[in-house]
């Protein structure tokens, strides 16, 4: 039995017994989601209040045709548009910062617990924070480039041209999605190796580490793709309202739990490989030490 296989099996076993760490990761996601939704709700409430204030007492001139009244109302609403856009950008930035901080705080401690030591190899909070930000910026840049490559040529065209080219870019869309999945998988692999200090401290077993992390990562990708295909099927056979209000939230919660669990499996598998390396080193050094 290969070391990578033993590490994956042992990682699943250890992660199942360490469910409080999974719940801690889910709690961090819930805290981030609550704060983001609270900011979004407050932003929309303020924008609605300001728009209603500008429309208070508004009476279109008698010379304006009734069909143009909506244009005047839209003009009044556009006065709060810049403020709404600014608040949305600020909220998006704060949400990005909050998630990276929460992730670094919780998962750096999850890594230490998975390794079985609070002072052993593994990234600190600052290293976790830096790697998380860089990974998300990288995937965001790749996503933007893929979007421009697919949609960019059709932007100058009119709506009629869009209707003719929408079927032509379907394969490009699928190709872009596959590229994003592969990019995300590669970044996850590199990020995990860096966070666990696997490149420096597990050099002799780096192939086993990559095999174990890759196996767990591929399993997670298959789960996500299966859930995506199931959602597409449900949209075709079930009412859209039911899918959006019940099935999609339940699937999102399930995927969040699976992600947190498999994250702990990856860290635990690397911890098992590290323990194997330590035991091998002690065994080799033992006889010469006794001599």
Per-residue pLDDT of 83-94, as tens digits, reads 777 878 888 899
What's the pLDDT score for residue 227? 87
53: in domain: no
Contacts of 188 (CB under 8 A, 6+ apart): 135, 217
Helix (H, G, I), strand (E, B) or coil at 120: coil
Give residue-wise pLDDT tens across range 18-61.
899 999 999 999 999 999 999 888 887 877 776 666 655 554 55
79: in domain: no
Number of domains in the chain: 1
Strands (E), the chain: none
Rounded to whole angstroms, how far apart are CA atoms 74 and 68?
Answer: 10
What's the pLDDT score for residue 34? 93
144: in domain: yes
CA-nearest of 191, 202, 197 to 130 is: 191
CA distances from 183 to 52, 84, 128, 143 (A): 46, 33, 19, 9
185: in domain: yes
154: in domain: yes
Give residue-wise pLDDT tens across range 153-175.
665 655 555 555 556 677 777 78
CA-nearest of 1, 17, 86 to 261 is: 17
Tokens of 243: 């899918």
What would the mean pLDDT of 103-112 be, rounded to a whole number?
Answer: 89
Rounded to whole angstroms, how far apart are CA atoms 214 and 212?
Answer: 5
pLDDT band at 259 (very low <50, low <70, confident <90, very high): very high
Range 247-252, long-range pairs (CB < 8 A, 24+ positions): 251/227
CA distances from 72 to 48, 58, 59, 66 (A): 17, 10, 10, 10
Domain holding 164, by residue range, is 123-194
What would the mean pLDDT of 252-280 be, rounded to a whole number?
Answer: 87
177: in domain: yes
Q: How many CB atoms lie within 10 A of CB 231?
A: 15
Alpha-carbon dihedral 275, 279, 282, 284, rounded to 10 degrees: -130
Helix (H, G, I), strand (E, B) or coil at 267: helix
What's the pLDDT score for residue 170? 72
What would the mean pLDDT of 276-291 be, rounded to a whole number?
Answer: 57
Instruction: Write out 173-226 in H/E/C secondary structure.
Output: HHHHHHHHHHHHHHHHHHHHHHHCCHHHHCHHHHHHHHHHHHHHHHHHHHHHHH
What would the mean pLDDT of 228-235 be, rounded to a whole number?
Answer: 84
234: in domain: no
CA distances from 280 to 117, 268, 284 (A): 19, 18, 6
Rounded to whole angstroms, how far apart are CA atoms 143 and 178?
Answer: 11
248: in domain: no
- Residue 291 pLDDT exceeds 50: no
């Amino acid at each position: 039995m290969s070391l990578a296989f033993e590490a994956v099996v042992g990682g699943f076993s250890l992660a199942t017994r360490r469910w409080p760490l999974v719940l801690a990761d889910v709690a961090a996601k819930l805290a981030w989601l609550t704060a983001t939704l609270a900011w979004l709700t407050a932003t929309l409430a303020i924008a609605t209040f300001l728009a209603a204030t500008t429309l208070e007492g508004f009476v279109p001139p008698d010379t304006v045709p009734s069909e143009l009244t909506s244009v005047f109302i839209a003009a009044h609403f556009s006065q709060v548009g810049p403020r709404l856009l600014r608040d949305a950008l600020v909220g998006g930035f704060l949400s990005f910062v909050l998630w990276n901080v929460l992730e670094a705080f919780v998962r750096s401690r999850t890594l230490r617990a998975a390794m079985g030591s609070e002072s052993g190899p593994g990234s600190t909070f600052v290293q976790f924070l830096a790697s998380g930000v860089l990974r998300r910026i990288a995937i965001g840049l790749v996503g933007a480039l893929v979007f421009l490559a697919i949609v960019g040529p059709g932007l100058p065209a009119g709506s009629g041209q869009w209707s003719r080219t929408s079927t032509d870019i379907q394969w490009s869309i699928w190709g872009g999605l596959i590229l994003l999945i592969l990019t995300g998988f590669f970044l996850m692999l590199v990020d995990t190796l860096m966070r666990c200090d696997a490149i420096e401290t597990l050099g002799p077993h780096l192939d086993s580490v990559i095999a174990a992390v890759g196996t767990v990562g591929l399993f997670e990708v298959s789960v996500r793709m299966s859930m995506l295909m199931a959602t597409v099927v449900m949209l075709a056979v079930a009412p859209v309202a039911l899918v959006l209000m019940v099935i999609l939230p339940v699937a999102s919660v399930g995927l969040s739990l699976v992600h947190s669990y498999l994250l702990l499996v990856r860290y635990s598998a690397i911890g098992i490989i590290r323990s194997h390396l330590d035991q091998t080193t002690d065994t080799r050094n033992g006889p010469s030490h006794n001599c």
